Amino acid sequence: MDIVLEHVRSFARRCEIPLRPLTLLVGENSTGKSTFLAVAAAVLDRRGFPWSPAFNSPPYSLGNFDTIATYKGGKYGRDQQFTMGIRYDVGEGRSHETIATYANEHGQVILSGFRSCDADITGELSLDQNRFRFEVCQTTDGAAPLRADFEGELPGAVSRDTMLGFTIWNQVLEASREKEFAKQPAFLRRVHEVLEVGPPFMGCHSLAPIRSKPRRTYDEFSEEYSPEGDHIPTLIARLLASAEKRSEGARLRDALVHFGQESGLFRKLDVKRLGKQLTDPFQIQVSVAGPLVNLTDVGYGVSQVLPVVVQSVLKSRHGIYLLQQPEVHLHPRAQAALGTFFADMARRGDRTFVVETHSDHLVDRVRYEVAQGRISRDRVMILFFDKPGLETEVTPIQLDDQGNVVDAPASYRRFFLEEEFRLFARGTTECA
C-alpha cells in the first residue's frame, strides 16, 4: 500500500510513501509525521474519501484549506490545489489507485476531481462549480475498449460530500439509457465501482499520543470508539466477565497478562465490580508485585498503554492502526516490549500498524525480532522523516535478515550517534 500526497503542508512535492504490515515513522519533531498520519487516516476512511475527507476528526486537526495547502512564501504564495490518494494491491496481480485533488472555496476544502484506476477500468471525474464531467474507459483482452463520457449539472442543493457521488451515479444511469452499452450490466457495474472509490478496508483506527487519565472508579458505560481510549475500561470490564476459554475475553486476558509480564508493567489485570449488575460501577485493578491495587495507584504508563494493547488485539481482521507515540510514559523495557508486541501482531498478516515513535528501544527491538526470524524483513519498513529546509523528505529504510538498516541516509540517527560520541570523548578526556 502507498499513500500519495502533494502540496500538503511541508510535502510540497509529490510523495508516494509505502506502508508495510509494520511501518515505523521516525524523525525529529515537526518533520511531518503527524501530518502524514492525518492524511493516511483521511484516505483510508471509506465514508469520506474522496468526496469529503475528514481532515479534523480526532485525534487529527489539519484545519482548513489555508492550513493544509503548501505555503511557499514570497511571490509563490500558497498552492491553489493539493493532492492525496492511495494505491494498494487487491490480489491476482491487480492494483487499485485513487488520486484526488482538492481546491479552495472560501477557505474550505472542496473536491475538484479524482482519477481512479482498478485493473481493467479507469475513471476520471472533474468538477467545476456546479458542473461535472466523468470519463470512463474499460479495456478487455481481445475486445475493443468501452468508453463513456458523461456531463451534467449538479442540483444547487447538493453539497460536495458523499451525496455527490450518489447524485452523479443517478445522472450516469439516466444518461446510459441512451448509449450503446445500456444493456451491458457488467460494464455499468464496473462504472459504479469506480464511483465507489473508497478503499475496501474494514477499519482504520487512530490512537492519540496522550490517552485518557485513569479513574479510580468507572461509572460511564460507553464502548463508542475514542482515539483517547475513553471506551477501553468499559470494553475490558465486559470482555473479562466472559468465562469461556475460547472467548474474546479470554484471548484479551491472555494478551494483557503476556504483555504485562514481558514489559514489567504488571503481572495480572482484573475488574472489581461494585455491584451485581453489569451496569454497576467498577474498578480496574492490576498487580505489579503483590496484591491487586487500583489502576490509579500504579505507574501512569499502565493506563496509557492499555488502549494500545486492547485495540490491537480486539479489532477486526484487516484493520489498519495509526498510532502516535505508543511508548509515552513507558520505561525502556516496556518500550522494547511494545516492539515485540507490534512485530507479533504484524506477523499474523491480517493487520497493518503504522507507528510514529521517538523510541530507539522500540525500533531496536523490532530489528531484533527480524534478526531472530520472528517476523520477515519484508513485512517491516522504517520511514525516516527529515526536514532540512522547508520541505519534508521521506526515506523508506528496509532491514536485512540480520535486522540491520539498509541504505539509510546520513542524517538517520545522526543525533544519537553524536551524543554517543560526545559521551565517549568525555570519558576519554577524564581518563587522560
Chain segment 336-376, per-residue pLDDT in tens: 999 999 999 999 877 899 999 999 999 999 999 999 999 99
> CA–CA separation, 257 vs 263, rounded Å?
10
> CA–CA separation, 35 vs 32, rounded Å?
5
pLDDT in tens, 80-119: 999 999 998 877 777 889 999 999 988 899 999 999 988 7
What does the pLDDT read at residue 432?
Answer: 47
What does the pLDDT read at residue 420?
Answer: 64
Can you give the length of the chain in residues?
432
Residue 132's closest CA among 80, 86, 169? Answer: 169
Expressed in angstroms, the distance from the first to the final Cα of the chain is: 54
pLDDT in tens, 382-400: 999 999 988 999 999 999 9
- Bridge pairing between strands 352-356 and 320-324: parallel
- Residue whose grid cell is 531472530: 372
Cell of 423: 559521551
Handedness of CA 126, 127, 128, 130 (dihedral sign): positive
Please state the pTM of the whole predicted model. 0.90
> CA–CA separation, 174 vs 398, rounded Å?
50
- Residue ranges of domains in the chain: 1-44+322-432, 45-195, 210-315
Q: Please state, as a whole number, how many other Cβ atoms lie within 10 Å of the Cβ of residue 208.
A: 18
> pLDDT band at residue 246, thresholds of 50, 70 and 90?
low
DSSP letter for each residue of 164-193:
HHHHHHHHHHHHHTTSTTTT-HHHHHHHHH
Q: Between 3.40.50, 3.30.70, 3.40.30, 2.40.160, what CATH number should domain 1-44+322-432 receive?
A: 3.40.50
> CA–CA separation, 336 vs 351, rounded Å?
20
